[in-house]
Amino acid sequence: MVSIVGCGLTKLDRYYELSEKDLVSEAYKQLITKIKEYDQPDIVIVSSGYIDVLGKNILSSYKISSGLGLQNTKVMRIENGDNGGASIFTAYSFIKSGVAKKVLLIGIEKFSDYPSKYVNEYLSYNLDNDYTYHVGITPHAYSALLMKKYMKKYNVDYEYFTKWPIKMHQNASENPLAYLKFKVDKNTVVNSQIVSDPLRIFDVGARADGASVVLVTADEVAKRYFDSPVKIDGIVGNIGAMNLSDPSLPSVAKARNELGDLPKRDVVYEIHDSYSIMAALEIEELKLAERGKGLDVVDSLDINLSGGLKARGYIGGGTAIYQLGEVFLHLTNQFKGKSANAEKGIILSNDDLGNTSYLAVLSR
Amino acid sequence: MKISPSTSWRLKDTLYRLALGKCKKCGNIKFPYQKICEVCGSLDVEKIFSKGTGSLVDYTILYQARDGFEKQSPMIVGLVRLDEGVDIVAPITDAEPSKLKEGVRVEAVFRRMRNDSYNGLIQYGIKFRVVLDAGNN
Ligand SMILES: [Zn+2]
């Protein structure tokens, strides 16, 4: 019903010379040089978390679309925390309903224009703005508290969490588009800077600049653009407050329940590892590992072969669109990094603390 | 302009008095107060005020300050279980991190949060401190 026919991904990096519009243009150029036929999309969806507050852009969907030379289309931006999954869900729904035949998904974020204390300020807009935001707390503190609870409940020490960054950096070192293309050892992680005890810098997704464009079409027109399109089998989503008192992510659990058992073989996963603790909980909520053992399975699954938010880099609300492009490349044997010989791809997209989640299933 | 007088005024019950929403249908208690129960959707939610006492379930020391909170860095952020039975994440003040312990009694105190250098507005709010005579009551 719904197919992906092409994508364009910029390398994630710090781009002091390029604007959001420039980055999207770079990704778009890749897309239109790879597809067989070029025509304008019926709808453009811009997925971005912070393009208004960091980039001083309202009406970003119009500005970006006109920057791509689009003349006849409908445009919108979707903001759902750091959850680009909502944008994928919207594109999927437009096509499945017949409202559109071609939707251009654009993921964009630019974090490097401001120092981290300002970026932390805007990321804290994700917290409740009746109390928590006003008293100076950041999502990092929540993540640290979540980590402490997990450590107590499952009797694991900090070393348990080092498995994630070590694996992610190893994967990123093979990915030419990754932001942090270097390997790290346990010693480096354990001795890295403390952000909010016990959370260290290597437990936090690496904020970067970057863009992704993905062209999604109805099946009947897909082959006009690409000979072996990838199908979006379905996308589900749900909400539920992250549980700090008994570490868990109800929104992920509910979304996963809609899909039933998820495969462990012949599948490539991309999950939202905003923090190492989030990776652990997400893997457990997806029932890919037992409770308290989420990070013990990182070597036995094809998960975040890109290097994840941790090392490929993190582009806020553009993240899931980037992951969608990566999984498309895996399923069409075009992924340049560590590749998976997979039949299916599954993307878990949630905000950094997992209050709202989407799960998309793709297949060759 | 970072601080809005009307926002501060509107939030005075939450920021200065820890207003909670108590659902008369399912009994759920929510902080910050909201008019509709987050658990059962009931519209019958009563606004009650926390006594401001509770215990420290856990805490972290946050080293990355946000814009405007530099002077409060590093900030101790606690998971506080209010005596009304609600867990809230809040700053802990007047404390030596080395002397903090899980389970210690805490109480709400009124503190300055940040000021707006543009127009001199000050945002106040609630933090928590360790109750010094804990154990005597
Ligand atoms: Zn209720």
Is B68 an 8 Å CB contact of chain A?
A: yes
Within 13 Å and on the Cβ side, how many CA atoms surround B89? 28
Within 13 Å and on the Cβ side, how many CA atoms surround A223? 3
Percent of chain A with pLDDT over 70: 100
A138/B66 touch (CB, cutoff 8 Å), yes or no: yes
pLDDT score of A64: 97
Percent of chain A with pLDDT over 90: 98
Tell me which chain B residues have a C-beta less than 8 angstroms from the C-beta of A247: none
Residues in B 78-107 with any Cβ partner in A closer than 8 A: 79, 87-91
The residues, any chain, with a CB within 8 Å of residue A237's CB and separated by 6 or more, are A85, A86, A89, A255, A356, A357, A358, A359
Residue among A307, A314, A316 nearest A335 (CA): A307
Average pLDDT, chain B: 92
A355 Cα–ligand 1 center, Å = 19
Tell me which chain A residues have a C-beta less than 8 angstroms from the C-beta of B90: 131, 135, 137
Looking at the predicted structure, is the pLDDT value of residue B120 above 90?
no
* pTM listed for this prediction: 0.97
In this structure, what token pair is assigned to residue B102? 């899980």
User: Quick one: how many helices (H) and strands (E) in chain A?
Assistant: 12, 12
Which one-letter amino acid corresponds to residue A118? Y
Q: What is the pLDDT of residues A134-152, one digit of tens each?
A: 999 999 999 999 999 999 9
Average confidence (pLDDT) over A64-78: 97
Q: What is the pLDDT of residues A13-49, one digit of tens each?
A: 999 999 999 999 999 999 999 999 989 999 999 999 9
Average confidence (pLDDT) over A261-286: 98
Between strands B105-115 and A102-109, the pairing is: unpaired
Residue among A215, A214, A209, A305 nearest A11 (CA): A209
- Residue among A130, A138, A151, A199 with most chain B CBs within 10 A, to mutate: A130
Average pLDDT, chain A: 97
CA distance A122 to chain B (A): 9
pLDDT score of A88: 98
Looking at the predicted structure, is the pLDDT value of residue B2 above 80?
no
pLDDT score of B137: 45
B126 Cα–ligand 1 center, Å = 26
Neighbours of A231 (CB within 10 A): 17
pLDDT score of B97: 84
- Residue among A131, A151, A243, A246 with most chain B CBs within 10 A, to mutate: A131
Looking at the predicted structure, is the pLDDT value of residue B135 above 60?
no
Residue among B55, B105, B122, B108 nearest B82 (CA): B55
Tell me which chain B residues have a C-beta less than 8 angstroms from the C-beta of A117: 64-67, 70
* Cβ–Cβ < 8 Å for B33, B19: yes
A134/B11 touch (CB, cutoff 8 Å), yes or no: yes
Between strands A267-270 and A302-303, the pairing is: parallel
Looking at the predicted structure, is the pLDDT value of residue A171 above 80?
yes
Q: Which residues have beta carbons under 5 A from ligand 1 (an ion)?
A: B 23, 25-26, 28, 37, 39-40, 42
Q: What is the pLDDT of residues B59-95, one digit of tens each?
A: 999 999 998 899 999 999 999 999 999 999 999 999 9
What CA–CA distance (Å, rounded) separates A208 from A12? 6
Indicate the residue of B66, B75, B123 with minimum beta-carbon distance to A124: B66
Between strands A43-47 and A74-78, the pairing is: parallel
pLDDT score of A252: 98
A129 Cα–ligand 1 center, Å = 22
B62/A194 touch (CB, cutoff 8 Å), yes or no: no
Instruction: Specify the DSSP class assigned to residue A126.
Output: G
